[in-house]
Amino acid sequence: MKIRKAVITAAARDQRHLPIQTLFDQNGIERSILSMIVREAHGSGIDEICIVVWPGDQEVFAQLLASEAAKVTFVIQAEARGYADAVYCAREFVAGEPFLHLVGDHIYAGTESGSCARRLVEVAATERCAVSAVQITRESLLPLYGTIGGQQIHGKPGLFRIDTVLEKPSPTQAELQLIVPGLRSGQYLCFHGMHVLTPVLFEILEQLQSSAAGGRVSLSLALAELARREQYLALIQHSRRYDVGVKYGLLEAQLALALDGHDRDEVLTRVVNMLAQRQPHPINGASA
């Protein structure tokens, strides 16, 4: 199975500003978040990239990516119908092929550029099926991510056959429905923000949207159906994903990139100095 195309979703109206935010990458070069995500996809060997955007954003995004080597196409999500619909908007671009999908508010640290996506693409090509990247995640973070349940494939460490997908489950739901043998208590496999998906997903989305009120459906619901129709695997990624759309997400992502980069010692020194200069908080009303 050859994966030649990638789809990046960046159309959410309440998070449209995120892709244009800038961070310093591991080499100390200032880049937009969108540029980092495009480089992650391009680093996996994919040259054709589709970015799903809100109307009017394509010009700004195109300027951010003017120096990138990948061929970028913009597709408009004309109505605010959610994440699953944003993926569905790319169906003509995908044109019946398997494709790499990344979300526009996650970046990755701990590996060289593109290595996360490259490993996922390589596994999908070898296994000839859809594969989602997952990360071992503690129970307290379940409200932030889609989560899977499944069985480890014998002889292939870190690779699981998915049988259940739930969107942002409660701890009780996860404990009952998202069992993954081998994980410690309170740990689950949550989506990593990147997937290799097959065209069957678009058939499922079309069917779900036609029967849903307002045409709005959950992508996790579609992925759960995908697992019922064909082989669908999960691959544990050991690099860290950072959701820049959550509180302090940009700060955490920047620290992670810096601590994995060339300026690690300088950044650590600055952080230590900053902490050392902070005044202790008064205790029990005593003056500092």
pLDDT digits (tens, 9 = 90+) for 61-80: 999 999 998 999 999 999 98
Does residue 166 lie within any of the structural domains? yes
Q: Supply the CATH number for residue 159's domain.
A: 3.90.550.10
257 backbone dihedrals φ, ψ, rounded to 5°:
-60, -40
Q: Where does the pLDDT of residue 14 fall: very low under 50, low under 70, confident under 90, or very high at 90 and above?
A: confident
Residue 151 sits in which domain range? Answer: 5-265
Domain count, the chain: 1
Does residue 272 lie within any of the structural domains? no
Does residue 271 lie within any of the structural domains? no
pLDDT digits (tens, 9 = 90+) for 180-207: 988 999 999 999 999 999 999 999 999 9
pLDDT digits (tens, 9 = 90+) for 36-62: 999 999 999 999 999 999 999 999 999
Does residue 222 lie within any of the structural domains? yes
The mean pLDDT value for 218-238 works out to 95
Does residue 151 lie within any of the structural domains? yes
pLDDT digits (tens, 9 = 90+) for 239-259: 888 999 989 999 999 999 999
